Amino acid sequence: MHLCRITNLLNYTPPPPGAPRAPTNWRLGKLLGQGAFGRVYLCYDADTGRELAVKQVQFDPESPETSKEVSALECEIQLLKNLFHERIVQYYGCLRDTQERTLSIFMEYMPGGSIKDQLKSYGALTENVTRKYTRQILEGVSYLHSNMIVHRDIKGANILRDSAGNVKLGDFGASRRLQTICLSGTGIKSVTGTPYWMSPEVISGEGYGRKADICLATTIYWLFVKGYADKNHAMQVEHRRLYGPIWRSRFGPFDMVNVATSELIAQVTQQEGRYPVRTLLPHWKEYRDLRGQDYGLHVHTGPDWYHIRSALNPRMLKLQEVSEYAPVVHHVVTDLLRRVERLRLRSPDQATVCDFTAELYKFGFEGVSSILFETRLGCLEDDVPPDTQRFIAAVNDLFTVSDIVLFLPRWTRRVLPFWDRFVRAWDDLTGVAQRLVDKRVEEITGKLKQGEQVKGMYLTYLLSSNKLSLEELYTSITELLLGGVDTTSNTLSWTLYHLAQDEAIQKRLHQEVTSVCPGEQLPTTEHLSRMPLLKAVIKEILRLYPVVPGNARYFVDNEVIIGNYWFPKKTMFHLCHYATSHDDAQFPEPERFLPDRWLRGSPARSQHHPFSSIPFGVGVRACVGKRVAELEMHLALTRLIRQYQFLPEDNAVPIEPKTRTLMIPSKPVNLRCLPRA
């Protein structure tokens, strides 16, 4: 710690009599956090012995970026110096050190941290604490609004706790005086705040007002106070409990009708017509326009979509044709087993493989690439090729920023970084995909010139069919890759996790696999047809953890009647698949891993609605890669369970799912892999 001396005070309005003042003799302590406009440290007042928090920004007059930070902090100071309320983090004063060129603002130290930290450490709040925090947040919001101030960035990280367990609103770097914002009565059309917590008016560029903070407070209640920030899937179940099987909601730019029973989902899909429209992806379309690319399977609608889908369906949906990919998949599974063995032997106990999900992600990437591009990428090698690393990173980055880009209006592209990251991710994806396709085209052309017979798999079929242009092929095959990786990796992760927890089911599955396919022979699709428990295990995992917990249908041109309600054209329906697959009316003990509920003749078999668990969708817009994903999962699981007994790691803790566009494990899945005799 070092001693800081005052050299010059900013223009300062004295607080009311008795209010705390800025320290004159203080010492800087440990770093508490870092935000968009500076760092926050613990501060010790050497004259009084009290602890404060100090927010600092290094001031460099020559740097435009730093000038922006200073301006933002000065705005915060002007607000905070007049705020005195038990639900607002108390402001003590401000300093500018001309020698150190540091601008500092002193505030009340909140030792309890933020609600975000609290939820991360202790989980969802009880009803009593929820009511208490909600009341206190709204008291703070009401005080701000009575002083003509809109906070504009209310989120879990900005709601702080004192030592008594009460909450206060902090971090006013995004706030502005309402009278300044609303001179015309309509609000200023600028974006300030965190995208996921913005109100619909802010996202759509309609301007700010008091209701923006109220919307944020409501969002905070559900996503942070109630603990659904990364559990949107579970929020489906809670909202169905509160509002019934059908309700309307707004989330970001979407105004949608949620349907959460099997019967209602069936009604929606049965009225979708020949050319169903799924979730609108305007940001994907914008990228395609920017690069002059074909729209592809997920952006095209109507006859254009049907043209591409019809070309992709063959060699993907018929089991007999998909079975031809088994030798390719087996080569990848063999590499996965070698990779698992290397990792197992490298571990201190020569048994534990850490973050099995990451290894299965590489397997899924390698497997689907081997089928789509007819080449190996080296994902399961110890030294992954740079192009492959970039390919994998681009997929991860795309899923990370895609939702953020979707919620922000187009005019923010020039001022926020998310659009640039989104474009770079797509550029890397399409760049590598195009090189792989072009390489195969050259190989085929060379063989034809030499009079050789051309043999191949999916890519060769698409190229030889001439049903798609090269531009259509580039986009569509890249999108197929995106859809195939996570389904395989996440489903297998959850499968091994539950089998490790359930010794009896794992033993039965091992007996089934070894009796149908004994010895070292590679299982075939004929073998798989005689493994009902294997398929039941995968079905049950997909029921518990649908990779896509919700889907959408957009009725552009026709009116529909759903649940005896009439809906006009251009209505978007959110299909709550997670809620229906966890409905105890359809699946008794819905949170329990019970594969026998899928086995014919089993006492545990449930009589459920055919639309109660549809992880791959239904109808003409069902997942085009369903059969390939099932083949990869079935072949990998048979060989993994034949080679290893899976056990939880020592001192294992339960792992819950979380939603990040897709449903994934919230923690690394670490497993002990014991070789079978």
Give the orientation angle of helix 302-312 with respect to helix 470-501, to 10 degrees. 70
DSSP 47: T
Using an 8 Å Cβ cutoff, are 627 and 316 in contact? Answer: yes
At 347 the three-state DSSP class reads coil
673 is known to lie in a ligand binding site: no
Paired tokens of 571 = 């209505």
Express the helix, strand and coil content of the chain in percent, nearest 5 each: 50, 15, 35
Alpha-carbon distance of 94 to 55, in angstroms, equals: 9
DSSP 221: I
| Residue 667: closest CA among 676, 649, 651, 654 | 654
H helical segments located in 373-409: 386-407
At 149 the three-state DSSP class reads strand
| Residue 27: closest CA among 9, 4, 58, 55 | 4
Using an 8 Å Cβ cutoff, are 110 and 89 in contact? Answer: yes
623 is known to lie in a ligand binding site: yes
Question: For the CA atoms of the chain, what is the radius of gyration?
Answer: 28
- Cα 502 to Cα 332, 492, 505, 515, 635: the distances in Å are 27, 15, 6, 20, 21
Query: What type of residue is 422?
Result: F
Query: What type of residue is 137?
Result: I
Query: What type of residue is 163?
Result: S
- Residue given tokens 């889907």 in the structure block: 551
At 317 the three-state DSSP class reads coil
Instruction: Report the DSSP pairing between strands 159-161 and 149-150.
Output: unpaired
Q: In 289-417, at which residue ranges do the beta strands (DSSP E only) sit? A: 352-353
First-to-last CA distance in the chain?
61
Using H for helix, E for strand and C for coil, what is the string for 160-194?
EECCCCCEEECCCCCCEEHHHHCCCCCCCCCCCCC
Query: What type of residue is 125?
Result: L
Other beta carbons within 10 Å of 271? 16
Chain centre to alpha carbon of residue 242: 25
Query: What type of residue is 207?
Result: G
Paired tokens of 528 = 């798989």
- Binding-site residue set: 55, 623
- Binding-site residue set for ATP: 55
- Binding-site residue set for heme: 623
